[in-house]
Amino acid sequence: MVSELFLLHTNTFARIFYIQLIICVVLLPLTILCLKETRPNIIFKDSKYFNVDSPDFDVKDTSHKTRILNLLTVSLLRPLKLLTTEPIIASMTLLSSFAFGLVFLATQSAGAVVFPDVFGFSAANASIVQITLLIGEIIGCAACLVQNKFYLRPLRKYDSHDHDTSKKEETDNSSLIPEHHLPIAVLGAFLGISIGLFIYGGCSLSYLPWIAPVIGLTLVGFGIMCVVQAASLYVTDAFPTVASSAIAGVAFGENIFAAFLPLATDKMYAVLGNVGASCLLGGCGVVLSCFPAILIWRGRRARRKS
């Protein structure tokens, strides 16, 4: 019996990895052919859009020949160094990792705990409810696109005045600072994740309509997408010369939380109850939502001292 269950789970995991492999193989040519260059020291070298002397875009040419072993050592150690020595990256990694881990924790709690136990949903119907998390993430993605449009407004204004010297001088492209990515993170962390978890947990009662925790789950999905996207964009713009290492540090934290946070789901919900567990997570979200708010206020000064 044990061996049959092991083979069943092994085959299921194998199928999942095969699907991911197929998707990656299909997207690889599109990635090579369609994606544009993103490395700042290459883009800014002959750029007409940015002032490379600005303290907000302190870009230096770091290209040099090095041995493969040294390159691998730097690639492995630099993300950990940034993660442990840069408060900006550490704080945004903690927030983004918590949000990323909630993707797996929320789907597990909704599909295996809350809706089957409280509302009597079947396994199939409880799985369908998880789609609301995806709906929230789609809404969050749309919100991030809207904010990016406002973030790039000074760039488009500068470009439109490219042939007008007098207007070009009036355009302050230094206003295009990384902290402008963070308002959506505050909104996503507080309104999306925190309030969403309080609604999801507080309404997980059998005498309340099942649509109430579904609304909370949708808000959680919205907050997750806003936080993860804003964190990635912010650390990329805040540390342009080591952007890949900064993102690697954030991704490291996200994968750690994604691996271990769901392992606590069943035990946490069993000990604290549905309401207590979700509200505890909502309280953590309230605390973590202070990080992007503080960085909006003091982030520019913190980057100059980096």
pLDDT value of position 8? 47
Query: Domain with 257 in it: what CATH number?
Result: 1.20.1250.20
Place of tokens 């488009």: 156
- Structural domain boundaries enclosing 207: 78-158+175-304
Of the candidates 112, 109, 115, the residue with the CA atom closest to the CA atom of residue 210: 115
Q: How many helices (H) and strands (E) does the chain have?
A: 15, 0
Q: Is residue 72 part of a domain?
A: no
Cα separation, 7 vs 244, in Å, equals: 38
CB proximity list for 169: less than 8 A, separation 6 or greater: none
Please report which confidence band the pLDDT of residue 50 belongs to, taking 50, 70 and 90 as the band edges.
low
Q: Is residue 232 part of a domain?
A: yes
Question: Is the confidence at residue 267, as pLDDT, over 80?
Answer: yes
Q: Is residue 210 part of a domain?
A: yes
pTM over 0.95: no
Q: Is residue 50 part of a domain?
A: no
Question: Is 106 within 8 Å of 237 (Cβ atoms)?
Answer: no
Exposure b/e, 269-290, CB count within 10 A at least 16 = b: beeeebbebbbebbeebeebbe
Mean pLDDT comparison of 10-19, 49-58, 108-117, 192-201, highest-scoring range: 192-201
Q: Is residue 129 part of a domain?
A: yes
- Which residue type does 94 have? L
CA distances from 82 to 85, 194, 251, 256, 296 (A): 5, 28, 12, 17, 20
Question: Is the confidence at residue 154, as pLDDT, over 90?
Answer: no
pLDDT value of position 48? 54
CA distances from 11 to 108, 111, 259 (A): 20, 21, 20
Q: Is residue 189 part of a domain?
A: yes
Q: What percent of the chain has pLDDT over 70?
A: 78
21-41 average pLDDT score: 82
Question: Is 274 within 8 Å of 116 (Cβ atoms)?
Answer: no
Least confident of 59-68, 118-127, 188-197, 282-291: 59-68
Question: For the chain, how many structural domains are there in total?
Answer: 1
Q: Is residue 52 part of a domain?
A: no
pLDDT value of position 139? 94
Cα dihedral 62, 64, 67, 69, rounded to 10, equals: 10
Work out the mean pLDDT of the chain and round it to a whole number. 80
Q: Is residue 137 part of a domain?
A: yes
What are 221's two structure tokens?
């999905």
pLDDT value of position 2? 42
CA distances from 23 to 5, 16, 20, 242 (A): 28, 11, 5, 28
Question: Is the confidence at residue 55, as pLDDT, over 90?
Answer: no
Please report which confidence band the pLDDT of residue 169 belongs to, taking 50, 70 and 90 as the band edges.
very low
Least confident of 69-83, 106-120, 163-177, 224-238: 163-177
Q: What percent of the chain has pLDDT over 90?
A: 30
- CB 83: neighbour CB atoms within 10 A? 19
27-55 average pLDDT score: 68
